[in-house]
């Protein structure tokens, strides 16, 4: 069960966020409303939400998931692969927020790069995607830290998706949403794989929260498949975040 969530309000500079999508720039006012609705949905799942203020100099800083991995034993501050985001991981308010919940905070060091959007937690085991943002050294350091604390990790090679969780979502109870290259990945054969077609691939980035599943708005087939598994669904519009390669999981740290 998740008890706590950390989010960061987007700043007006969100329109300058990193993107590979060809969908125009996010509209700040709309992004703000969507963020408020996201927080409201999280609150419905029974968690305590810590809200950090906007940071104008980092357009992508609302995507807090990438800068830390929150485990049952420790928090691990990452070293983002996107250079414009690297200093986000050291923002004092984020470190202070994590210290309220964790006695132990670990750090990934150069030349390792890793973004937690590339890490999927399944119990005490962590799947780590080696991507354009997460290199082999970052993954090696992360696994070493996890093992030091009695947890485990393994590397997943990937070539198509931006982040591992761009195409995967673990919904607990052995249920795993899979899209794109992960449909045939050997690492996930033991799961009950719920396949998401490419036209709804963005919808694969859902988050399980205490029996609920937050699903992005506009992906009816994904929603239907999740409801068929017996989960309570909360639909959240993230269209402004999609414009800068962000999804539901990117917008929060959950622990």
Residue 163 known to be catalytic: yes
Share of the chain above pLDDT 90, in %: 95
Q: What is the pLDDT of residues 228-248, one digit of tens each?
A: 999 999 999 999 999 999 999
Taking the C-alpha atoms of residue 36 and residue 188, their distance in angstroms, rounded to an integer, is: 34
Range list of H helices, 19-102: 28-44, 92-101
* pLDDT value of residue 17: 87
Task: Kindly give the pairing relationship between strand 207-209 and strand 212-216.
Answer: antiparallel
Residue whose tokens read 């691990």: 76
Q: What is the pLDDT of residues 210-226, one digit of tens each?
A: 999 999 999 999 999 99
- Model confidence band, residue 188 (pLDDT cutoffs 50, 70, 90): very high
* pLDDT value of residue 23: 82
Taking the C-alpha atoms of residue 19 and residue 17, their distance in angstroms, rounded to an integer, is: 6
> Would the pLDDT of 204 be above 80?
yes
* pLDDT value of residue 18: 84
Taking the C-alpha atoms of residue 195 and residue 204, their distance in angstroms, rounded to an integer, is: 9
**Averaged pLDDT for residues 87-95:** 96
How many CA atoms within 13 Å lie on the side-chain side of 80?
A: 22
* pLDDT value of residue 71: 98
**Token pair belonging to 167:** 């195409």
| Neighbour-count burial of 192, counting CB atoms closer than 10 A to its CB (0-12 exposed, 13-18 middle, 19+ buried) | exposed
CATH class of 4-254: alpha beta
Q: In what order do the strands lie in the sheet with 119-122?
A: 119-122, 125-130, 152-157
> CA separation (Å) from 125 to 90, 144, 183?
26, 13, 20
Tell which residue, 2, 13, 115, has the closest CA to residue 62. 13
| Neighbour-count burial of 127, counting CB atoms closer than 10 A to its CB (0-12 exposed, 13-18 middle, 19+ buried) | buried
User: What is the number of residues in the chain?
Assistant: 255
Out of 62, 70, 74, 163, the active site residue is 163
Share of the chain above pLDDT 70, in %: 100
Q: What is the pLDDT of residues 10-48, one digit of tens each?
A: 999 998 988 877 788 999 999 999 999 999 999 999 999
Q: What is the pLDDT of residues 52-67, one digit of tens each?
A: 999 999 999 999 999 9
> Would the pLDDT of 78 be above 80?
yes
**Token pair belonging to 85:** 């985001």
Q: What is the pLDDT of residues 150-173, one digit of tens each?
A: 999 999 999 999 899 999 999 999
Residue whose tokens read 């959950």: 254
Range list of H helices, 114-208: 136-148
Q: What is the pLDDT of residues 110-139, one digit of tens each?
A: 999 999 999 999 999 999 999 999 999 999
């Amino acid at each position: 069960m998740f008890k706590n969530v950390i989010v960061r309000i987007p700043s007006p500079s969100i329109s300058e966020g990193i993107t590979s999508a060809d969908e125009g720039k996010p509209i700040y006012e709309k992004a703000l409303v969507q963020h408020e609705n996201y927080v409201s949905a999280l609150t419905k799942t029974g968690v305590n939400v810590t809200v950090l203020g906007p940071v104008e100099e980092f357009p992508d800083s609302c995507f807090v998931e990438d800068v830390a991995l929150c485990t049952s034993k420790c928090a691990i501050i990452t070293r983002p692969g996107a250079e414009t985001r690297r200093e986000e991981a050291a923002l004092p308010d984020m470190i202070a927020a994590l210290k309220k919940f964790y006695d132990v905070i670990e750090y990934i060091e150069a030349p390792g790069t890793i973004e937690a959007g590339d890490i999927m937690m399944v119990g005490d085991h962590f799947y780590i995607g080696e991507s354009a943002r997460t290199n082999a050294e970052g993954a090696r350091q992360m696994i070493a830290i996890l093992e030091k604390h009695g947890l485990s990790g393994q590397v997943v090679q990937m070539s198509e998706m931006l982040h591992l969780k761009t195409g995967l979502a673990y919904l607990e109870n052995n249920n795993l949403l899979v899209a794109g290259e992960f449909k045939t990945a050997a690492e996930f054969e033991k799961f009950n794989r719920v396949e998401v077609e490419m036209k709804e691939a963005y919808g694969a980035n859902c988050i399980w929260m205490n029996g609920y599943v937050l699903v992005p708005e506009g992906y009816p087939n994904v929603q239907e498949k999740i409801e068929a598994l017996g989960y309570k669904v909360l639909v959240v519009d993230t269209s402004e975040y999609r414009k800068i390669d962000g999804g539901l999981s990117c917008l929060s740290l959950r622990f």
